Amino acid sequence: MLLEIAVFAPLLGSVLAVLLRASGSRAGAVWLSVACMAISAISAVAVLVRHLVDHVTMHDVALGAWIHVGNFVTPWSLREDTLSLVVVVMVSVVSALIHLYSVGYMAHDRTMPRFFVYISAFTFAMLMLVTANNLLQLFFGWEGVGLFSYLLIGYWYDRAAANAAAIKAFVVNRIGDLAFLIGIVLIYAQFGSVSFNQIFAAVPQIATQKYHLFGASMPVLDVIGVLLFIGAMGKSAQIFLHTWLADAMEGPTPISALIHAATMVAAGVYMIVRMSPLMSSAPAAMGMVAVIGGATALFAGTIGCVQNDIKRIIAYSTCSQLGYMFLGAGVGADSAAIFHMVTHAMFKALLFLAAGSVIHALADEQDVRKMGGLWRKMKVTYATMLVGALALAAIPPFAGYYSKDAILAAAYANHGTAAMFGWVCGVIGAGLTAFYISRLMILTFHGAPRGDADVHAHAHESGWMMIVPLLVLAVGSIFGGMALDRPFVGAGSATFWGSSIVPPVASVLPLSMPIPTWAADLPLLLALVGFAIAYIFYVMRPSMPGALAKAMPGLYQFLLHKWYFDELYDYVFVQPAKRLARVIWRGADDQVIDGVPTGLARWTTDFSVQIGRAQNGSVAVYSFVMLLGLLVLLSLFLVMR
């Protein structure tokens, strides 16, 4: 019952907000949805505690039937195991905090109740995704979160940029979703089921089967694994399908924190980890996961170093951190991936909410070049954001250190080609992370104010509803790593996860196979170098970054334009698609396919216009034509017999 409450309370909150909004009670709508979310978070924590105390392996809460056709059987149900419950707690707690924060952040917006309708419904969809016990229900939640992400990116729908970003997010996500759905039906065709337990049980039998594709025959599990991962790439904004995430920052900042940092974008990671019994038997797909993850960790980091919009810097950072999680999943360290997902949810939500607090204080200014000197005015925001930054940069003892370290250690210990590629990318990325986040902190809070003096003078600390969530998340970002290290990836991990995660192959567990000290310490060392460079660039020699950009204009423009992905896609996909659409409509459809019948019609129109004139649309003539047809029929009938 507790799990049902945790999952359905947000839905109730959303529905109540709709009803109360219609009846005109704005405050009621808002606070009721906040209350429902709080109930959800409390129930989620309670159900996780109960699960850990009782040591149940897996429990399925049946809710009813969904699709029942032939062998295609998918019930509505909730899966209760350690993996799903950990993520349920993460989602509902972060969501509850962001609900509270939003009451303060959106206070001046006339449409505030609609905002709460969306984010409560989003939370429900996310929880359905996480607790799904079959792939199709997971897909239900998957598309549901995509929908609310679309609605919330385009929340201020009178802005053209917001609309464009919303559509872009939905379409790019759908490309991934198509691959995901094809993967699901391929699983159905191969396994005869889409339910997790039956899939996992049948993996050994299917593992030997080959699938013919591209004229070659490849293991069917690899094909499935790659398809699922393409779906995950869309949702988690991995390289090639990442272009929507930065534009998604058009949405309100609490949304960037909840959906585009802490929860929805992590759904791809969750799905790959959830499918780990299958993925671990698909070595080629695993290699791809590790390579793409590592590449994204590095690639997004390089872009983050030169962006000027505070939210976009953090967005690229999110992209990069998701890359680390995939790297973990790709080398078989699923528990480390989930560990990083949980710590990331805390410190990244913290960074976004703090950034929101800054933007709020500066009358919607988002350009870091126009900030500076804010730390005296917003001490709590500054302190909490600093905690988030240290956690992100993986400085001990903050949360990110433990989880990122576990991933990189596992990648090094794996020793495969893909894993080593990922490790190198990840280590360089660690340096970049430290650089861009210190750059952000220095430009925002230190030095002299560079923006409008009037705006700066009015900058002030935010109200308690925005401060409390910051403090809670800061506490999590400080202690989360230390507290969760042992159960998640340490000595207690086997009993903690139970059978919900495939136990990692012995060789990738950092515990069982210690890696050389230099390899373990390298990420931290590079992070310190990153700090040092940022300090030199933005505190000691502020002229250096500009000089560097002038010295290497090609590289600077390349990074500033985000590796020209948007331009490339526009040139290769968007413009040709528009041209094709016009050609099909104006050319092919009107001229060729329509040409023949139109000629025929013109020929007969002359005849029928005559009749039309004579009778002027009278029913009689039409009936007459019909009767004629029937007469022909009847005469044929008599002739034939």
572 is a site residue for another protein (CB under 8 A): no
Stretches 82-90, 320-328, 505-513, 625-633: which one binds another protein (CB under 8 A)? 625-633
62 is a site residue for another protein (CB under 8 A): no
DSSP state letters, 256-314: HHIIIIISGGGHHHHHHHHTHHHHTT-HHHHHHHHHHHHHHHHHHHHHHTT--BHHHHH
Interface residue with another protein, options 52, 58, 66, 447 (CB under 8 A):
66
User: What is the C-alpha radius of gyration for the chain, rounded to an integer number of angstroms?
Assistant: 28
- 371: its two tokens: 């900030």
Closest CB to another protein among residues 240, 488: 240
167 is a site residue for another protein (CB under 8 A): yes
Interface residue with another protein, options 363, 582, 631, 635 (CB under 8 A):
582
Torsion of Cα atoms, 355 then 361 then 362 then 368, to 10° = -20
Rounded to whole angstroms, what are the CA distances from 174 to 143, 294, 393?
Answer: 9, 23, 32
Give me the 120-159 binding string for another protein, x by CB under 8 A, dash otherwise. ----------------x--xx-xxx--x--x---x--xx-
213 is a site residue for another protein (CB under 8 A): yes
For the chain, the straight-line distance linking the first and the last C-alpha, in angstroms and rounded, comes to: 72
Work out how close the CB of 299 gets to another protein at its nearest, in angstroms, rounded to a whole number. 24
The answer, yes or no, to whether the previous bond of 503 is cis (omega within 30 of 0) is: no
Residue 629: partners with Cβ closer than 8 Å, 6 or more residues away? none
216 is a site residue for another protein (CB under 8 A): no
- Number of residues forming the site for another protein (CB under 8 A): 80
Work out how close the CB of 610 gets to another protein at its nearest, in angstroms, rounded to a whole number. 12
Q: How far apart are CA 67 and CA 69, in angstroms?
A: 6
486 is a site residue for another protein (CB under 8 A): no
Closest CB to another protein among residues 448, 640: 640
Q: How far apart are CA 242 and CA 464, in angstroms?
A: 35
Residue 512: partners with Cβ closer than 8 Å, 6 or more residues away? 506
597 is a site residue for another protein (CB under 8 A): yes
68 is a site residue for another protein (CB under 8 A): yes
Interface residue with another protein, options 570, 622, 631, 635 (CB under 8 A):
622
Closest CB to another protein among residues 64, 554: 64
Question: Could you tell me whether strands 72-80 and 59-69 are parallel, antiparallel, or unpaired per DSSP bridges?
Answer: antiparallel
Three-point CA angle 424, 263, 565, nearest 5°: 55
Coil, strand or helix at 546: helix
Work out how close the CB of 366 gets to another protein at its nearest, in angstroms, rounded to a whole number. 22
Work out how close the CB of 189 gets to another protein at its nearest, in angstroms, rounded to a whole number. 5
Q: How far apart are CA 364 and CA 552, in angstroms?
A: 32
Work out how close the CB of 632 gets to another protein at its nearest, in angstroms, rounded to a whole number. 8
Q: How far apart are CA 421 and CA 428, in angstroms?
A: 11
Please, what's the largest Cα pairwise distance for the chain?
A: 104
Stretches 6-14, 28-36, 525-533, 601-609: which one binds another protein (CB under 8 A)? 601-609
369 is a site residue for another protein (CB under 8 A): no
566 is a site residue for another protein (CB under 8 A): no
Stretches 29-37, 304-312, 388-396, 595-603: which one binds another protein (CB under 8 A)? 595-603
Q: How far apart are CA 8 and CA 641, in angstroms?
A: 68
163 is a site residue for another protein (CB under 8 A): yes
Q: Which amino acid is at 29?
A: A
Interface residue with another protein, options 49, 171, 363, 457 (CB under 8 A):
171
